[in-house]
């Protein structure tokens, strides 16, 4: 969304990052669950540029992935953005620092599916992310038990917030994180690519290597 994010001080905003290669209703489910349960004003879908750890042939062009995200992002409070490309950031931790610097007074929450929590400890600066802003993890199929035992979950176990307090999360001082259970949606980018005759082979989300 090249016109800007239109974020005002005082807003509560979820940041939902990924390659969205392609975006699907499982992504929409995570974003919508967070929007409602955290009582957010916006969810910004941060569509990542080419993953520096992958060959360009493994990921669809940015414009194609942006279009797929816009096609499934439900409602006017969902904003699809190429902020990382415009800001020139390569790593999630740097993207979040840039967003906080450009939008002072906005209450950000980092959003992820429980499948990403399993490998979150491998991301560059993951402890900095946890200490930078609150984090909400939404349950995804196939990762419920594993994610709860993930190194990040264990490391920050003392900062976990009950889902009953989820609506307050955006206003809490980091580190603070919550785990949101919801009816599970089985859609995945990997499965969609496997069914496509022109599919590109890659991991579910490049951010798992960030």
Under 8 Å CB-to-CB from 5, ≥6 apart: which residues? Answer: 42, 44, 79, 81, 83, 103
pLDDT tens by residue, 88-115: 998 999 999 999 999 999 999 999 999 8
Contact 134, 177 (CB under 8 A): yes
Closest-CA residue to 2 (of 77, 87, 65): 87
Residues 161-174, mean pLDDT to the nearest whole number: 97
- CA separation for the pair 167, 133 (Å, rounded): 15
Starting at the edge strand that comes first in sequence, how are the strands of the sheet with 78-81 ordered?
78-81, 42-47, 12-18, 107-113, 135-138, 177-180
Query: Residue 205 corresponds to which tokens in the numbers above?
Result: 């989300």
C-alpha 25/C-alpha 175 separation (Å) is 29
**Residue 123: pLDDT band by 50, 70, 90 thresholds?**
very high
Report the pLDDT value the prediction gives residue 207, as an integer from 0 to 100. 44
The full set of domains in the chain, from first to last, is 12-209 (3.40.50.620)
């Amino acid at each position: 969304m090249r016109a800007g994010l239109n974020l005002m001080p005082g807003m509560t905003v979820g940041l939902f990052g990924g390659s969205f290669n392609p975006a699907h209703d499982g992504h929409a489910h995570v974003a919508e669950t967070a929007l409602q349960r955290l009582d957010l004003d916006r969810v910004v879908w941060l569509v990542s540029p080419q993953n520096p750890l992958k060959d360009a042939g493994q990921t669809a062009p940015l414009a194609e992935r942006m279009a797929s995200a816009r096609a499934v992002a439900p409602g006017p409070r969902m904003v699809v953005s190429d902020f990382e490309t415009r800001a020139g950031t390569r790593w999630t931790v740097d993207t979040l620092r840039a967003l906080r610097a450009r939008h002072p007074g906005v209450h950000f929450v980092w959003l992820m599916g429980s499948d990403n929590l399993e490998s979150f400890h491998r991301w560059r600066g993951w402890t900095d992310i946890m200490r930078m802003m609150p984090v909400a993890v939404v349950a995804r199929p196939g990762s419920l038990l594993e994610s709860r035992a993930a190194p990040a979950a264990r490391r920050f176990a003392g900062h976990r917030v009950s889902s009953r307090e989820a609506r307050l999360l955006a206003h809490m001082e980091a580190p603070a994180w919550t785990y949101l259970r919801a009816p599970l949606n089985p859609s995945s980018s990997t499965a969609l690519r496997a069914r496509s005759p022109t599919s590109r082979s890659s991991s579910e989300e490049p951010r798992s290597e960030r």
